[in-house]
């Protein structure tokens, strides 16, 4: 009744774009932060080989930042534009011209947007998680966001999950971010299951890659932005537009 293969005992859910309608909020925060940085750098003249046109919050968001730890996303995008910055430290202020400074600026922006507009969960995802709970499946959230718990609480769904691996926990435990499988493997371990006994639910290409790399029993790609083919190419066993579709299969 859940559209999952026999043998799946646990479900590991990404947060933004799978459970909550926050992927668009993150994309907007990334765009605002990068556009301000790129415009300021262009005004200063830039350096040879740098591309300083505005950030594309669809294609470049999907390719370079979606699903990845924040500083990894900054580094990945800057490399794609031929821009070199010092890495800095996580304590850098949000106006620092470092990888960490830009990442911290993006985090400030996304928190402000969430506080302003609130957090909404996808109704179909909530239905699916409740059905998984009622069927006796273990459930955890695996997110690169350091604000995972606040978002779950803001959406009123934190009580549906037994555990979580988020950006703060990943940093503390030195877990490599998506597309590496480390955070999902840690989530499976928390729930006491082998990877082959767990299903991964992801909307990000990097997240789908991590599910495939970890040899999980089933990888569900959630297509919110019209990238079904890309999700399959990166390793999704099945692609749906909403998790409620699994309840109807």
Active site residues: 14, 16
Judge whether 129 and 246 are in contact, CB under 8 Å. Answer: no
- Rounded Cα distance between 85 and 227, Å, is 31
Residue 31 contacts by C-beta under 8 Å, 6 or more apart in sequence? 54, 55, 57, 61
Contact between residue 96 and residue 88 where contact means Cβ atoms under 8 Å apart? yes
Helices 99-117 + 70-80 axis angle, to 10 = 120
Q: Collapse the DSSP code of 146 into the 3-class scheme (helix H, G, I; strand E, B; otherwise coil) and give the result.
A: coil
Which of 158, 138, 16, 132 lies closest to 73, judged by CA?
Answer: 16
Strand ordering across the sheet containing 218-222 = 163-165, 138-142, 10-13, 198-202, 218-222, 238-240
CB-CB contact of 133 with 1 (8 Å) = no
**In which element (H, E) is residue 220 found?**
strand 218-222
């Amino acid at each position: 009744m859940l559209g999952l293969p026999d043998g799946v005992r646990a479900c590991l859910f990404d947060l933004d774009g799978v459970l909550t309608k926050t992927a668009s909020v993150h994309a907007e925060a990334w765009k605002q932060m990068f556009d301000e940085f790129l415009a300021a750098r262009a005004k200063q003249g830039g350096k040879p080989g740098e591309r300083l046109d505005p950030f594309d919050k669809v294609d470049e968001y999907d390719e370079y930042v979606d699903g990845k730890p924040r500083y990894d996303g900054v580094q990945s995008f800057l490399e794609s534009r031929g821009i070199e910055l010092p890495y800095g430290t996580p304590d850098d202020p949000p106006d620092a011209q470092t990888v960490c400074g830009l990442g911290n600026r993006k985090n400030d922006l996304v928190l402000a947007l969430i506080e302003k507009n609130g957090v909404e969960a996808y109704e179909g995802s909530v239905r699916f998680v409740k059905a998984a709970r009622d069927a006796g499946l273990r459930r955890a959230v695996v997110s690169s966001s350091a604000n995972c718990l606040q978002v779950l609480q803001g959406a009123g769904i934190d009580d549906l999950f037994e555990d979580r691996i988020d950006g703060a926990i990943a940093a503390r435990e030195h877990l490599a971010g998506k597309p590496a499988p480390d955070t999902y493997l840690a989530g499976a371990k928390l729930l006491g299951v082998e990877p082959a006994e767990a299903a991964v639910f992801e909307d990000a290409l990097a997240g789908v890659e991590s599910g495939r790399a970890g040899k999980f029993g089933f990888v569900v790609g959630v297509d919110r932005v019209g990238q079904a083919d890309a999700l399959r190419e990166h390793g999704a066993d099945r692609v749906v537009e909403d998790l409620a579709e699994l309840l109807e299969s």
